[in-house]
Structure 1
Amino acid sequence: MRSFAVKPAINFMYKPQFNTCSVLKFKHFANKPYALFSVIGKVVIIGVLNVATLQTATAADPMTTNREPADTTDTKMVSLQGVNVVGTRAPLTQSQQARMVTVLSREEIQAAPVQSVNDLLKYVAGIDVRQKGPLGALTDVSIRGGNSEQITVLLNGINICDPQTGHNTFDIPVDMNDIERVEVIEGPAARVYGTSSLLGAINIVTKAPKQTSLTAHAEGGSYGYLSAGIRGNIASGRWNNQLSATTTRSDGYLRNSKGGLNADYNTVKSFYQGSYSDPTVDVRWHAGLSAKNFGSNTFYSAKYDNQFEHTFKSYTAIQAESKQGAFHLKPAIYWNHIYDRFELFRGEPGKYPFNYHRTDVWGLNLNAYFDWTLGRTAFGAEVRNEDLVSGNLGEPLDNPKHIHGTGRMYNHGLNRTNIQLFLEHNIILKRLTVSPGITAVKNTQANMNMEVYPSIDASYRIGDNWKIFASYNTSLRMPSFTELYYSVGGHKADSHLLPEKLYAVEGGVHYLSNGVKAKASVFYNHHKNLIDWINDGTLDDNGAALWKSVNFGEINAVGADAQVEFDFRSLLPAQRFLKSLSLSYSYLNQDEKEHEGIISQYSLEYLKNKFVAKTQFNVFRNLNLGINFRMQHRMGSYLDTANNRHTYGTYCLVDSRLSWDETRWNAFVEANNLLSRQYVDYGNVRQPGFWLIAGVAINIR
């Protein structure tokens, strides 16, 4: 078995400087067959482990990646809870967090029958993934009954949300093989990620192997799906540089009224990241691009079935953190460049002019935290400028700009700056963690005064296994550019929309022991000025349903989440066949009586019930099998092309992944929608039936 390094504890949270934090000792593993340290006959005190969640103390090769080869040495699952996850403004370990953060680890990503982050999030009960095509061609992701505009998506802690529209937010530049873990906060997270995280946040954390490595993978399957990628990493002393590239294409599965395929797509992704680390400072930087072309069929309007869209996005950021002394400074600067071309009639600009949009987002974060007698205090500020030029979104420009490659001009646009200030204090006692804070925000587009949004999270640890937690959080969200100005193709926007506001209360319990992990929570959300696209029976000039962006007023939502995970390698060490089982359920109910007769595109079409079951088996030697089950029941209804109303139903799906995993290579076969169920996530966009994907990955070096 290969060894893994134990790094001395250097972060304040592991020093008994205030309130006498406990030291974690592995004395529970003495005289057990899986005791990693019993061979030395000593008690080992662990400090910081630089992994997301060490769920298996395997003899994995340091270069093992998500879809790449993994060592299959059969050892026991040990949850250390010692990783820093971002549930607070100041860094705290997962066990110290007062806020519950769901972490999808590298092992879970590797075992899931998915090819994109969008698909991975389907297996989180509290997340609604509404697809308009498989493999992430176009997907809306929301949390706890919201819509895709109401969450913040981050790449290594950097906000990569698209202010033009939430539909394209998940055009991320990283392949699944680049990802170390995915962190999910359900509920308002303004104090941590800014006010755009109205109902939650998703942070995608990329990995940087500590050793020089080279890996490659190739996949193919149904609907003409092909994908190939390569990733190389060079590690030298304090420096680490990594570059990856992936290309993916598919013929799609939907045809337009003329019989042509029009859910096809092709994407190219490239991602570079580097880092430098010494005893005084950590510096990280990344640059990535994503280019995607996809036939969008009836994705945006049921009346037009030959739509098409092209997006190009680039992401650049640099981050740093000082490491010595009681005062820690964490600055970051980033630039997101976004280009979008939408074709209502594919390849026919003479029939209807193409819509062109270009967005540049500049951001500067300055965060700091320090330790003192009464705890850990964090404060910070963010300035984020969003600049859009467009052919049809925004206010008329005094100086129109040329659209590259065309004879047209960007003659509309909007520029707004969002300023946010943060203050948080963390009190960490032996069993109690309390994290109160405030967020102050001002946005130039709304001509609003500085507004303050308070929040507080608290948790209490009962014994070694139980924790109870509660929180109160508030936040707001500015309308997207599309919500403010998109008034074409059967849509009528309102440029005077008010910012959304949310007040949320949550409480629950968490249990953790060797082999069992469980949590349950209940929450209440009070929405004010909720923004959505609705139809109240009004038709446009062509007789089609007219969708209008409006502020709803007030909506109340009550919900509950529950999850339990069993690691049978720890519970039943004598057997090898059954590895793990996870069960999760989410319930939501909205007070919507005042909206009877209204058809909503998003907010009133929420998931009332969602149940997810995942199980992993070791079939034979290195042959592993995963089976995932989902049941979803959606509220709301939609209109077809003849303006007939249909209600959403309940559907159940089964997905599976069979893989042979060696140290230097693996091969897999994935089957999605095994029972070939017919269903829709979004009205008038039928989802594919059974589809199959097979692939291979090798660790070249």
Structure 2
Amino acid sequence: MYRPIFNTRTALIFTHFTRKSYALFNCLGKEVLIGTLSVATLTYAKADGIAKRDVMEKDSLGHQEVKLSEVVVTGAWAPLADQKPAMIVSVTTADDIRRAAAESINDVLKSATGVDVRQRGGFGVQTDISVNGGTFDQTVILLNGINISSPQTGHNAADFPVSLSDIQRIEVLEGASARVFGNPAFSGAINIVTKNKEHSNAFATIEGGSFGTVCGEAGVTFNTRTTNNRLSGGISRSDGGTKNSDFVKRKLFYQGNFSTRYADMMWQAGITSQDYGASTFYSAKFDNQYEETRRYIASASAEIRPLGDRRLTFCPTIYGHRDYDHYQLTRGMTGAANGENLHRMDVYGASISARLSWIAGQTAAGANIKREHILSTSYGDLLDEDQWHDISGSSRVYDHEGKRTCTSLFLEHNISIGGFRLSAGVMADRNTGLDDSFRFYPGVDVSYRPDNHWTIFASWNKAMRIPTYTELYVSSAAQQGSTALKPEKNTTLKAGLRYRRPEWEATVSVLRNYGRDLIDWVYESEESTKYQALNIGKVDNTGLTCDLALRPDLLTGCPIFTGLKVSYGYINQKHTSERNIYKSLYALDYLRHKLSVQLDHRIWRKLTAHWCMRWQQRMNGYHPYAKLDAKLAWTEDKYDIYLKADNITNHRYYDIGDVLQPGIWVMAGAKVKIAF
């Protein structure tokens, strides 16, 4: 029987809440659907989603809208939103980066609680990045989930082909992560996620300042009906803030995405080029070192959903990068006798994984194979003369070669029941640089959310790292490697609490690393003249991290102060060894205390200020130091004008060895943005 309906109700899709006074009346007589948006990852533990944006613009009454959003983050092979994975991941968003007084990704990471950034030159020209008391070789660096770390040396890990304008967020995973990223993920992993969901636009930035520094970059995002493409590039040069620290940096990056109901595809390619005076970077005895590095990266990946949904997903990936490194112990002096080394590092591989969502949770399994190949004037085994390779632009030849293949198999299961999350898995890894045996790296991450505010988490993970080619083969007036090095082993225990509200968030965690056969560069006695690469025995790190983020404007209703972040990290180390060690260059030269305070506030209309104070104490004999950075910015829809000052107090300090850092560094710049 036909019955007319006079009170037809339309569905109201609720994507965010608002404090507007009339909001409740908009819901009367309507069906209300409340949800959050989450974008799935592509492959290889890749993060890909929308950035957090906690606070929207004010309305005419001065009220603010708080947007509820979730971001898919790295932490397991199965993609999970940032509030749902068992492993807690620290996220620095694009808004955080935009406000910061930073010139490079390395500058941004300096404020991350568990991250130790030891910078030798300005603008991140040469930077060592480590996590939770580890060394720079123990941290995996990823770009959109693709491992771009070099098995030659971790010194060049920060040669990123992307600029700050390209980044959507930076994720930091603390602790052993071998079951997700393989044996190099010894003490942590850092994943840089680039923007890939923007509307078509173009931007250009120009800035200049102290020590003859000039930088420029530009980029464009262009979309079609099914693809999203982003192309960016930049160049910077400087005389440097200290003796023989001049540099020229160039970078170019392209990323593309394609999406349909049954598949998502992502591809990326990048180039970096750096020429820089290396001062006393690698040895205090030589103050006129020089280095040139080139890096070419490329990868393609897909997420294939044969059923049209995410119940069953296949994720194939191919990737590779080629790195060139030209080092001179004395600038302008060529030849092996003068300490000149040239290297070409090739890394390429492929992986395939599958994820199944079923009644018992999410199960993921897969395999990865990676080939590492180095041609060098000094690293690797000596080649027969008929196998030598000419070096373009040099009279020398690559007469040494090293190669190894890593094969990994993994299995992981994720369970989510109410507020309980569990992720457990194991990776079996075989590396021909060791032997033909498989080694197993299990791990378990657990979290519990009794309500929407509290999260309790704990984890246990194991990892191993094989020596880099530098640790195995380098032989110079300053360093001596060793082919007798054993692989490092690590077990990480971590537990903590997190409390979240729109107005504030706090996280406290404790960490325990059990390191065995750790590798370090050391002087064995006071009479030593070369740093030797040695397994230095057992190193146990006990750590504490505390993070507090406040929104004073939401807490007090005063719109002037818009953000306050306070973080503190502490590491205590216990080292036991049968060897006599007089001086450590890296592993025992750790960051014990790190305090970071960041404040954001409005000055007038669209003029804002960002302040960042960092105090830290390193166990290297130098005094602790405090450093203050600031940024003033006038922000419009189509342009930004800003003034940045690094090290306002002009304090001269040391991050590593005897490399003195520059004093105050001031930069002024402008950015133009055009949407189309």
**Which of residues 496, 500, 504 in structure 2 aligns to 1:516?**
504
Q: Distance in 1 between matches of 2:509 and 2:36?
A: 30
Residues 186-195 or 683-692, more deviating? 186-195
Q: Distance in 2 between matches of 1:315 and 1:553?
A: 36
Deviation of residue 83 (structure 1)? Answer: 1.4
**Which of residues 173, 176, 187 in structure 2 aligns to 1:185?**
173
Residue of structure 2 equivalent to 1:443: 431
Deviation of residue 597 (structure 1)? Answer: 4.9
In the alignment, is residue 582 of structure 1 matched against residue 565 of structure 2?
Answer: yes
> Could you say what the CA RMSD is over the residues aligned between the two structures, in angstroms?
2.1
Counterpart residue identity of residue 45, structure 1: I
**Which of residues 12, 27, 33 in structure 1 aligns to 2:20?**
33
Residue of structure 2 equivalent to 1:56: 54
Residue of structure 1 equivalent to 2:575: 592
**Which of residues 332, 337, 344 in structure 2 aligns to 1:358?**
344
For residues 597-619 of structure 1, the C-alpha deviation after alignment (integer angstroms, 9 at most, x for no partner) is: 52111110101110111110011
For residues 305-335 of structure 1, the C-alpha deviation after alignment (integer angstroms, 9 at most, x for no partner) is: 1110000100010010023242101111011
The verdict on how the C-alpha distance between 1:371 and 1:593 changes in structure 2, with shifts beyond 3 A counting, is: closer
In the alignment, is residue 281 of structure 1 matched against residue 263 of structure 2?
Answer: yes
Q: Distance in 2 between matches of 1:77 and 1:249?
A: 42
Contact in 1 for aligned 2:524/2:580 (Cα 8 Å): no
**Which of residues 671, 685, 688 in structure 1 aligns to 2:645?**
671
- How do 1:233-272 residues align onto structure 2 when only pairs under 5 Å count? 233-255=221-243, 262-272=244-254
The verdict on how the C-alpha distance between 1:75 and 1:206 changes in structure 2, with shifts beyond 3 A counting, is: farther
Residue of structure 1 equivalent to 2:130: 142
Q: What TM-score, normalized by structure 2, do the two folds share?
A: 0.92
Deviation of residue 487 (structure 1)? Answer: 1.3
Residue of structure 1 equivalent to 2:390: 402
Q: What is the SS of the residue equivalent to 2:330?
A: coil
The verdict on how the C-alpha distance between 1:74 and 1:347 changes in structure 2, with shifts beyond 3 A counting, is: farther
Contact in 1 for aligned 2:321/2:347 (Cα 8 Å): yes
Residue of structure 2 equivalent to 1:564: 548
Counterpart residue identity of residue 642, structure 2: F
The verdict on how the C-alpha distance between 1:114 and 1:75 changes in structure 2, with shifts beyond 3 A counting, is: farther
Q: Distance in 2 between matches of 1:38 and 1:411?
A: 78
Q: Distance in 1 between matches of 2:324 and 2:159?
A: 12
Residue of structure 1 equivalent to 2:367: 381
Deviation of residue 539 (structure 1)? Answer: 4.6
For residues 96-115 of structure 1, the C-alpha deviation after alignment (integer angstroms, 9 at most, x for no partner) is: 11111001001000001001
The verdict on how the C-alpha distance between 1:26 and 1:242 changes in structure 2, with shifts beyond 3 A counting, is: closer
Deviation of residue 474 (structure 1)? Answer: 0.2
Which 5+ residue runs of structure 2 have no aligned equivalent?
1-12, 40-48
Q: What TM-score, normalized by structure 1, do the two folds share?
A: 0.89
The verdict on how the C-alpha distance between 1:162 and 1:391 changes in structure 2, with shifts beyond 3 A counting, is: same
Residue of structure 1 equivalent to 2:193: 205
**Which of residues 93, 106, 109 in structure 2 aligns to 1:118?**
106
Contact in 2 for aligned 1:189/1:198 (Cα 8 Å): yes
Q: Distance in 2 between matches of 1:502 and 1:602?
A: 17
Deviation of residue 700 (structure 1)? Answer: 2.9
Residue of structure 2 equivalent to 1:681: 655
Q: Distance in 2 between matches of 1:289 and 1:36?
A: 50
Q: What is the SS of the residue equivalent to 1:58?
A: strand
In the alignment, is residue 320 of structure 1 matched against residue 302 of structure 2?
Answer: yes
The verdict on how the C-alpha distance between 1:361 and 1:222 changes in structure 2, with shifts beyond 3 A counting, is: same
The verdict on how the C-alpha distance between 1:36 and 1:444 changes in structure 2, with shifts beyond 3 A counting, is: farther
Q: Distance in 1 between matches of 2:511 and 2:199?
A: 44
Contact in 2 for aligned 1:611/1:632 (Cα 8 Å): yes
Residue of structure 2 equivalent to 1:336: 321
Q: Distance in 2 between matches of 1:119 and 1:72?
A: 37
Residue of structure 2 equivalent to 1:473: 461
Contact in 2 for aligned 1:77/1:569 (Cα 8 Å): no
Q: What is the SS of the residue equivalent to 2:449?
A: strand
The verdict on how the C-alpha distance between 1:696 and 1:499 changes in structure 2, with shifts beyond 3 A counting, is: same
Q: Distance in 1 between matches of 2:104 and 2:592?
A: 25
Q: Distance in 2 between matches of 1:190 and 1:604?
A: 23
Contact in 1 for aligned 2:391/2:397 (Cα 8 Å): yes
Q: Percent identity?
A: 36
Deviation of residue 165 (structure 1)? Answer: 0.5
Deviation of residue 570 (structure 1)? Answer: 2.4
Counterpart residue identity of residue 166, structure 1: G
Deviation of residue 593 (structure 1)? Answer: 5.4
Deviation of residue 46 (structure 1)? Answer: 1.4
Deviation of residue 373 (structure 1)? Answer: 1.4
Q: What is the SS of the residue equivalent to 1:114?
A: coil
Q: Distance in 2 between matches of 1:111 and 1:35?
A: 33
Residue of structure 2 equivalent to 1:456: 444
Residues 152-161 or 361-370, more deviating? 361-370
Deviation of residue 394 (structure 1)? Answer: 0.9
Q: What is the SS of the residue equivalent to 2:570?
A: strand
Q: What is the SS of the residue equivalent to 1:195?
A: coil
**Which of residues 255, 262, 285 in structure 2 aligns to 1:303?**
285
Contact in 1 for aligned 2:345/2:374 (Cα 8 Å): yes
The verdict on how the C-alpha distance between 1:499 and 1:72 changes in structure 2, with shifts beyond 3 A counting, is: farther
Q: Distance in 2 between matches of 1:696 and 1:238?
A: 33
Contact in 1 for aligned 2:241/2:663 (Cα 8 Å): no
Residue of structure 2 equivalent to 1:629: 613
Q: Distance in 2 between matches of 1:271 and 1:402?
A: 29
Deviation of residue 25 (structure 1)? Answer: 8.0
For residues 669-697 of structure 1, the C-alpha deviation after alignment (integer angstroms, 9 at most, x for no partner) is: 01111111121001210001111011000
The verdict on how the C-alpha distance between 1:476 and 1:593 changes in structure 2, with shifts beyond 3 A counting, is: closer
For residues 398-436 of structure 1, the C-alpha deviation after alignment (integer angstroms, 9 at most, x for no partner) is: 312111122221111100011111111001011100111
Residue of structure 2 equivalent to 1:552: 536
Q: Distance in 2 between matches of 1:659 and 1:72?
A: 23
Q: Distance in 1 between matches of 2:60 and 2:137?
A: 41
Contact in 2 for aligned 1:538/1:546 (Cα 8 Å): no
Counterpart residue identity of residue 258, structure 2: Y
Q: Give aligned pairs, total.
A: 645
Q: Distance in 2 between matches of 1:112 and 1:56?
A: 17
